[in-house]
Structure 1
Amino acid sequence: MRASGESYGVIGALQAFPLRLATRRVQSLGGRLHRNITRGTTAAVLGRTLLARKSQEYIEQAASKARANNVPLLSENGFLRLLRSLPPVPSANITRQAMLDQSRLDGDVLDLLALFDAFEHHAEPFSFRDVILAKKYAGLVASGASWSAIARSVHQIGPVGSLTALTLQADGPARIVARDAHSLAELNGQRLLPLPEVDEDAEDYFGLAETAEAAELFAEAATLYEHCSSIDSTDAVAAFNFGNCLRKLERLEEAATAYITAIKRDPDFVEAWFNHGGVLRDMGRVAAAREHLARAVALDPDYADAVYNLAALEYDAHDLAAARQWWLRYLELDSDSDWARRARAGVGLANRTLNKAG
């Protein structure tokens, strides 16, 4: 995978550096970077700060959602290597299946540990040292440790390869301790490879905003998203989410401005074009709404919601011929849902009306 032409979504926050710096780096290589997964996302990066800020269940669901959307997942180290911010890993030749066979580690656990850089190699092929680590981790899991506790702990002592010389044991599901020739200690040593500070403010505000939005506290969420957006002038998703909350509050003019900001920051942000089109339609600006929805479809021809909304827009504008074309296109994308039945009824109405007129 290469950065040029790719669109990366960051789930959580990167531990290595703030999102705005990562965005500039990706843009310099010809790619795009944004928070979370959008329709244009070609790969998702799991930021290692998720381990400290989110539950194991949340992380597992985020990974499952990405896979369900056929979005490849990258570890943070894998992403940094792609950006040439970390040196490449040494050559290796051990497959994922061989790792599973030799370590007896559960496949899902292995994949999640790899996504949080618990091995020297972030993906297959793995090395013999990675096999040793996998066997140690399998022993910890068998002793009652969770995969997230392992992933949180292994980075506290330095490069993960150094763990091959230690005896690891679980002290309950959330604590890992290491024994060397001299002592028993929790894995909480100082990092050997210090990293720049993460931009805590932006990440913390964004997380709080997501929580408020999920609780339908849209005014509070809007305030938090707005602050996050002002901190990071490259963050299209914070501006987009700000617009969504304003729309829920029926502050349409302000929502439109927020969507414009998101589009300026990321001109290929399909959902921002779509939602801006919806706001413009609600404001009675039909021509502008049509342009924005059409742009969403141009960016993503399989965006069924945008296609249907274009059909509805043309129907409301009494252009049945144009509405019929969009309904037919929608039925090529969706033939079974309630919306498909409505589209089919719309085609039938258009046929009857146009035939009478003819």
Structure 2
Amino acid sequence: MGALTGITVGLAGALDAFPRRIAARAVGTAGGSLRRGVGRGTGLVVFGRGMLRRWDAARIGALLDEATAVGAQPVSETGLLRRLGLLDAAPDGPHDAEALARLSGLAERDVRLLALFDAFEADTAPFTFRDLILARKYAALTNAGAGWDTIARAVHRVPDVGALAALTLDLGSEGIVARRPGWQGTLDGQGTLGLVAPEEDADDLFDAAGAAEEEGDWDRAAQLYNRCLTLDPSDGVAAFNRANCLAALGRAAEAAHDYARAVKRDPRFADAWFNLARLMSDAGHEDAARRHLSRALTIDPAYADAMFNLARLEYEAGNGVEAARLWRAYLEHDADGEWAQRARNGLALIALERAAAG
């Protein structure tokens, strides 16, 4: 078994280590599957360093909260590479995140966020003695007015971040300044300029498509997601998002095609199976809808919406026993929501029919 067998890895932001398509292949070889963002069933969320070039601190912090809320484990790029066996394990150290924060004066949340962008030797606890020195330097920078994201942007391109422990770090007018006797330089985090890689373009397009989608500009969003797919045909989330936009535009047949494309790229994409089932049901293809909902529940047995919809279809197909089982299962997940009473009404109707049948 691979190190990531059965795990869905969510990718947020572009990776600096290698293009997304190579990451997808490496994760697949390790037994997992790679998907953009945080979705149903995500086990690990990789915080790609490209996020620092495109997202502000608030948006990154919100993603951390979202990942934590759904039980996914946030990891840095280095953390992913270590799980894939492409880097040696982190140096052993004596400090957990709480101790690192307490001994350095750095906020524990800042410790966590900086670790997610490999600003320490270790990408997660236990942290080393050099990490404690770095944390104290970072705490001084935050006290001088630097945000954790400013620090991360400055240091994340340093080849050996542990070497910063031997330097003096100060916040200057042009950014974070590193000094040692006889030398000083600005850690601007810019790196060297080079040709723009197609993967970078794909990430820019994906972000632009997401912004258009949030604004309700479904047509532009669909076009941008289509360009993402031209650059990276393996991107199941781009296909899924494009299908959502096409469905909002009333282009159901095209939407169904892209949902099918999403599940072909990522067979464990439960939300894509669910949305495809909805379109099949709307088109009168009830058997196909039931198969797709069953597939979604096989992937995620706790998918309450899939339970409810499959129960309705089973009832309409005359399978009252199975419909009752599914509605009871739904009520275990949602006893008070908008659809809970409808599930109870369905169970009551089945009970009346049984009583009338005698």
- Would you call these one fold, judging by a TM-score over 0.5? yes
1:176, distance to aligned residue in structure 2 (A):
1.7
Deviations, residues 187-207 of structure 1 (Å, cap 9, x unaligned)? 137869x9x967112111111
User: What residue in structure 1 maps to residue 106 of structure 2?
Assistant: 105
- Counterpart of 1:92 in structure 2 is 93
- Residues 34 and 280 (structure 1 numbering): CA distance in 2 closer, same or farther, change over 3 Å? same
CA distance in 2, matches of 1:5, 1:128: 35
Which residue in the other structure is 2:339 paired with? 339
Secondary structure of the residue aligned to 1:338 is coil
| 2-structure distance, mates of 1:232, 1:63 | 26
2:41 aligns with 40
Give the letter for the 1:265 counterpart.
R
Q: Which amino acid aligns with 1:350?
A: I
Shift of 1:180: 2.5
> For residues 354 and 171 of structure 1, do their structure 2 counterparts lie closer, same or farther at Cα, with a shift above 3 Å needed?
farther
Does 2:62 align with 1:61? yes
**Which residue is equivalent to 1:149?**
150
> Structure 2 CA distance, aligned partners of 1:282 and 1:317?
15
User: How much does 1:321 deviate?
Assistant: 4.2
Note closer, same or farther for the CA distance 1:179–1:275 as it changes in structure 2 (3 Å cut): same
Aligned match of 2:264: 264
CA distance in 1, matches of 2:201, 2:6: 30
CA distance in 2, matches of 1:189, 1:28: 32
- Contact residue 154 and residue 189 of structure 2 kept, 8 A: no
Partner of 1:199: 199
**Partners in 1 of 2:197 and 2:95 — Cα distance?**
34
**Would the aligned equivalents of 2:10 and 2:38 in 1 still touch at CA under 8 Å?**
yes
What is the distance in 1 between the residues matched to 2:115 and 2:292?
Answer: 40
Answer yes or no: is the 8 Å Cα contact 1:157–1:188 preserved in 2: no
Cα separation, partners in 2 of 1:239 and 1:216, compared to 1, 3 Å = same
CA change 1:308–1:4 in 2 (3 A) is: same
Instruction: Give the letter for the 2:200 counterpart.
Output: E
Residue 318 of structure 1 and its aligned partner are, at CA, apart by 5.5
* Alpha carbons 1:176, 1:187 under 8 Å: kept: yes
AA aligned to 2:153 is R
Q: Is 1:10 matched up with 2:11? A: yes
* Alpha carbons 2:307, 2:326 under 8 Å: kept: yes
- Shifted more, 247-256 versus 152-161: the winner is 152-161
Q: For 2:18, what is the secondary structure of its paired residue? A: coil
CA distance in 2, matches of 1:229, 1:40: 23
Q: Which moved more, 1:35-44 or 1:70-79?
A: 35-44
Cα distance in structure 1, aligned partners of 2:198 and 2:83: 20
| Structure 1 residues 143 and 286: CA distance shift in structure 2, 3 A | same
Give me the identity figure in percent. Answer: 45
Confirm whether residue 74 of structure 1 aligns to residue 107 of structure 2: no
Question: Please, which runs of 5 or more residues in structure 2 have no aligned partner?
Answer: none
Please give the secondary structure, in 2, of the residue aligned with 1:199: helix
Look up the match of 1:311.
311
User: Partner residue of 2:288?
Assistant: 288
Aligned-pair CA distance for 1:26: 1.1
Residue 216 of structure 1 corresponds to which residue in structure 2?
216
Q: Is the Cα contact below 8 Å between 1:15 and 1:198 reproduced in 2?
A: no
Moved more, 179-188 or 206-215: 179-188
1:229 equivalent in structure 2: 229
Cα shift at 1:221: 0.6
Q: CA deviation at 1:219?
A: 0.7
**RMSD of the alignment, in Å?**
2.1
1:299 to partner: Cα distance: 1.3
Which structure has more relative contact order (CA 8 Å, sep 6+)? It is: 1
Partner in structure 2 of residue 179 of structure 1: 179
Q: Structure 2 counterpart of 1:50, which letter? A: M
Does the CA-based 8 Å contact 1:140-1:169 persist in structure 2? yes
Call closer, same or farther: CA 1:137–1:241 in 2, change over 3 Å: same
**Structure 1 portions without partners, runs of 5+:** none
- What TM-score results when the alignment is normalised by the length of structure 2? 0.93
Letter in 1 for 2:250: E
Aligned counterparts of 1:99 and 1:233: Cα–Cα separation in 2: 43
- Rounded Cα–Cα distance in structure 2 between residues aligned with 1:57 and 1:95: 25
Offset of residue 354 of structure 1: 2.6
Instruction: Describe the shift of the 1:114–1:198 C-alpha distance in structure 2 as closer, same or farther (beyond 3 A).
Output: farther
Q: CA deviation at 1:24?
A: 0.5
Distance 1:306 1:189 in 2: 46
Query: Which digits, 9 at most, give the CA deviation of each residue in 1:266-322, with x for residues without a partner?
Result: 111111111110111111111100110111111111100100111222344465444
Q: Contact 1:155–1:191 (CA<8 Å) still a contact in 2?
A: no
- 2:234 maps to amino acid: T
Q: How many residues align?
A: 355
Partner of 1:165: 166
The answer to whether the Cα contact below 8 Å between 1:156 and 1:188 also exists between their aligned partners in 2 is: no
Residue equivalent to 1:238:
238
In 2, Cα distance between the equivalents of 1:213 and 1:84?
37
CA deviation after TM superposition for structure 1 residue 91, in Å: 2.5
- In 2, the alpha carbon distance for the partners of 1:325 and 1:113 equals 47
Q: For structure 1, which segment, 58-67 or 348-357, has the greater mean C-alpha deviation from structure 2 after superposition?
A: 348-357
User: Do 1:112 and 1:147's aligned partners in 2 also have CA atoms closer than 8 Å?
Assistant: yes
Aligned residue in 2 for 1:51: 52
1:17–1:199: 8 Å Cα contact kept in structure 2? Answer: no
